[in-house]
């Protein structure tokens, strides 16, 4: 086989096979190594988040329950979506068959929608914690958060089933040759999806965090003006830890939107959303890398995460009663 680069067939025994680009061995090895590294790093970092929050009892809070579920979504991105999408773009062929062609985009879309739903829930959680700290513990309970997380996943699976109904029924309807898996969302569905999964959630998040910022500024000014007696009789002010959490989670949401918004460029440009577009791979991977970024943000801004990781890597979590360790 010629490894100098050039066209070949995805399935040499089929005359109707799509053509592929044969890369030099050194280039292919480098790209596959990079893909494996990114996928493995995403899985490992999110696994550390999941183990940390699940194991240490002190981390069993409503906010961390949202982070735990978000980490599950990101872990599945690294475990299922990244390798498959990487194989597609490196080989320039779809080699996994008709069934996987139907399921792979569906799983990917569901995970993205679930992540977006979690970001909205995190915004609401921080809004209540900062703007109404007196009622936070009564309004935001583990039971309510668990219900919201469950609804987020259920709605994601149902909604994307509707969006991709035609593709799930006939995944090869837009394929021109064997070795293609083309997903097309027409302009009408794409516009509706743009409003439902981008405009509305982004508006909610921006409005809530703008309100959080306004309250933050007003509380700083209030604290500076108040005397000791005034402070005692004043309305409750959010704890310093809540402010730090709001800042960190605000950064998580901002990075998510930066990675997520470019994906909707085709809809904004009035085009059908299709993975056959020349620039779709770039938009897709910008979005996928967000799953690896979130744990890195936790590592930079959450001391409890760094401490938990140290316990995990040194295997101290295997010791009796390690789940009772004060991690905060």
Structural domain contains residue 192: yes
| Number of domain units in the chain | 1
Structural domain contains residue 76: yes
Q: What is the mean pLDDT of the chain?
A: 84
pLDDT at residue 271 in the model: 67
pLDDT at residue 272 in the model: 63
Structural domain contains residue 98: yes
Structural domain contains residue 150: yes
**Would you list the DSSP string of 21-82?**
EEPPHHHHHHHHHHHHHHHHHHHHHHHHHHHHHHH-GGG-SHHHHHHHHHHHHHHHIIIIIH
Backbone angles phi, psi at 6, to 5 degrees: 155, 175
- Of 105, 257, 109, nearest to 172 by C-alpha is 105
Here the CATH number for the domain that contains residue 35 is 1.20.1070.10
4-59 per-position pLDDT tens digit: 444 588 888 887 788 887 788 888 899 899 999 999 999 999 999 999 999 999 99
Mean pLDDT of 286-312: 89
- Of 93, 288, 102, nearest to 183 by C-alpha is 102
236-286 per-position pLDDT tens digit: 555 666 667 777 778 888 888 888 888 777 767 666 666 666 677 788 888
pLDDT at residue 251 in the model: 85
Structural domain contains residue 229: yes
Structural domain contains residue 1: no
User: Could you list the residue range(s) of the whole structural domain that residue 207 is in?
Assistant: 6-324
Mean pLDDT of 287-295: 88
Structural domain contains residue 221: yes
Structural domain contains residue 63: yes
């Amino acid at each position: 086989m010629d490894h100098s680069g050039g066209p070949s067939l995805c399935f040499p025994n089929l005359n109707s096979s799509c053509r592929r680009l044969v890369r030099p061995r050194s280039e292919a090895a480098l790209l596959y190594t990079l893909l494996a590294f990114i996928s493995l790093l995403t899985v490992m970092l999110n696994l550390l988040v999941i183990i940390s929050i699940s194991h240490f009892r002190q981390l069993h809070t409503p906010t961390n329950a949202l982070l735990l579920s978000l980490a599950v979504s990101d872990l599945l991105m690294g475990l299922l979506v990244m390798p498959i999408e990487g194989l597609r773009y490196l080989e320039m062929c779809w080699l996994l068959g008709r069934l996987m062609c139907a399921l792979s985009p569906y799983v990917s879309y569901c995970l993205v929608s679930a992540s977006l739903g979690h970001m909205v829930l995190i915004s609401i959680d921080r809004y209540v914690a900062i703007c109404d700290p007196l009622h936070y513990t009564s309004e935001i309970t583990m039971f309510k958060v668990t219900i919201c997380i469950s609804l987020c996943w259920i709605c994601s699976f149902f909604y994307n089933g509707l969006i991709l109904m035609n593709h799930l029924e006939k995944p090869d309807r837009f394929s021109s040759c064997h070795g293609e898996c083309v997903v097309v969302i027409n302009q009408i569905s794409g516009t509706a999806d743009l409003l439902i999964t981008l405009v509305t959630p982004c508006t909610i998040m921006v409005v809530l965090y703008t309100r959080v910022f306004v309250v933050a500024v007003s509380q700083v000014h209030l604290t500076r003006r108040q005397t000791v007696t005034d402070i005692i009789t004043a309305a409750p002010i959010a704890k310093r830890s809540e402010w730090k959490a709001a800042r960190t989670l605000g950064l998580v949401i901002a990075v998510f939107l930066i990675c997520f918004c470019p994906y909707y460029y085709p809809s904004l440009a009035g085009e059908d959303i299709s993975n056959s577009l020349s620039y779709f791979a770039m938009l897709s991977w910008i979005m996928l890398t967000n799953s690896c970024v979130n744990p890195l943000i936790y590592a930079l801004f959450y001391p409890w995460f760094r401490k938990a990781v140290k316990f995990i890597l040194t295997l101290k979590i295997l010791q009796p009663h390690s789940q009772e360790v004060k991690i905060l």
